Amino acid sequence: MTMTPPAPLLRVEGLTHYYGSRLGCGDVSFDLYPGEVLGIVGESGSGKSTLLSCLSARQEPGGGRVLYQSRHDGEIDLYSVSEPRRRLLMRTEWGIVHQNPRDGLRMTVSAGANIGERLMAVGARHYGEIRDQAIDWLGRVEISDDRTDDLPRTFSGGMQQRLQIARNLVTQPRLVFMDEPTGGLDVSVQARLLDLLRGLVSSLGLSVIIVTHDLAVARLLAHRLMVMKEGRVVESGLTDQVLDDPHHPYTQLLVSSVLQV
Distance CA 126, CA 140 (A): 21
Could you tell me if residue 118 is inside a domain? yes
Could you tell me if residue 197 is inside a domain? no
Cα dihedral 39, 59, 181, 6 sign: negative
Question: Please, which pLDDT band fits residue 68 given cuts at 50, 70 and 90?
Answer: very high
Distance CA 9, CA 43 (A): 27
Question: Please, which pLDDT band fits residue 190 given cuts at 50, 70 and 90?
Answer: confident
> In this structure, how many other beta carbons lie within 10 angstroms of the beta carbon of residue 84?
8
pLDDT value for 97? 94
Question: Please, which pLDDT band fits residue 260 given cuts at 50, 70 and 90?
Answer: low
pLDDT value for 261? 43
Residue type, 226: M
Could you tell me if residue 149 is inside a domain? yes
The answer to whether residue 81 scores a pLDDT higher than 90 is yes
The answer to whether residue 2 scores a pLDDT higher than 90 is no
Could you tell me if residue 256 is inside a domain? no
How distant is the alpha carbon of residue 252 from its chain centre? 25
Could you tell me if residue 17 is inside a domain? no
How distant is the alpha carbon of residue 166 from its chain centre? 13
Question: Please, which pLDDT band fits residue 124 given cuts at 50, 70 and 90?
Answer: confident
Could you tell me if residue 85 is inside a domain? no
Which DSSP string do the residues of 151-213 spell out, in sequence order? -GGGS-HHHHHHHHHHHHHTT--SEEEEESTTTTS-HHHHHHHHHHHHHHHHHHT-EEEEEES
Rounded to an integer, the average pLDDT of 164-173 is 92
Q: Write out pLDDT tens, residues 24-60.
A: 999 999 999 999 999 999 998 999 999 999 999 999 9
Could you tell me if residue 75 is inside a domain? no
Residue type, 241: Q
CB 102 within 8 A of CB 165: no
Query: Which domain does 132 fall in, by range?
Result: 106-172
Q: What percent of the chain has pLDDT over 70?
A: 97
96, containing H or E segment: strand 94-97
What pTM does this model have?
Answer: 0.92
Query: CA 97, 28, 211 angle in degrees (round to 5)?
Result: 25
Q: Write out pLDDT tens, residues 197-255.
A: 888 888 888 999 999 989 999 999 999 999 999 999 999 999 999 999 999 999 999 99
Could you tell me if residue 114 is inside a domain? yes
pLDDT value for 211? 95
Strand partners, 207: 175
Q: What is the tally of structural domains in the chain?
A: 1
